[in-house]
Amino acid sequence: MDPFIVLYEDTLQAGPLMQKQLFQFLRYADDVSHLERAGNVFTEKTSRKKEHSRPFCENEDVDCELIQAGLLDQYPCLYKQLLDESGRAWSVPMLPNGTIDIRGDCIPLRPLDERGHALRDISELYRLPL
């Protein structure tokens, strides 16, 4: 059986679709009442709130220029993610030789949708940037 991949960004962007796919994976798909009773299983039920809810660089306590300068040369994947405000998921950072490394580069992943791309495949996560 293939693993069921849940990326945090996918739960934010396509939570209901992720939940539907998860329930199908767990074989609850035939009983719709499970979906109705569950609500959104990816919604955090906590009293703790995010410190930053706006785009990261728009927060007063974030020195974005300093962070960008620190990431630009050494961490291209993190640099791209910092500038991207879409909330999309990204591949695993990899060096040109295929080694997984936080100093590597990455590519944005195709968003999940009901029309043909409703599940993540492990090969998406481990693709070398072009």
Q: How many separate domains does the chain show? A: 1
Residue 111 lies in a domain: yes
Residue 83 lies in a domain: yes
pLDDT of residue 21: 87
The pLDDT tens digits for 68-102 are 999 999 999 999 999 998 889 999 999 999 999 99
Residue 21 lies in a domain: yes
pLDDT of residue 32: 59
Report d(CA 58, CA 29) in Å as an integer: 41
Residue 2 lies in a domain: no
Q: How many CA atoms lie within 13 A of 91 on its CB side?
A: 25
Cα 126 to chain centroid distance, Å, stands at: 14
Report d(CA 109, CA 117) in Å as an integer: 11
pLDDT of residue 75: 97
Report d(CA 105, CA 77) in Å as an integer: 4
The answer to whether the CB of 16 falls within 8 A of the CB of 39 is no
pLDDT of residue 20: 84
pLDDT of residue 27: 76
Residue 1 lies in a domain: no
Report d(CA 80, CA 91) in Å as an integer: 12
Low-confidence residues in the chain, pLDDT < 70: 1, 28-39, 44-53
pLDDT of residue 37: 67
pLDDT of residue 87: 85
pLDDT of residue 35: 64
- pTM (2 decimals)? 0.78
pLDDT of residue 46: 58
Residue 130 lies in a domain: no
Residue 106 belongs to what domain range?
Answer: 8-46+54-125
Report d(CA 57, CA 67) in Å as an integer: 9
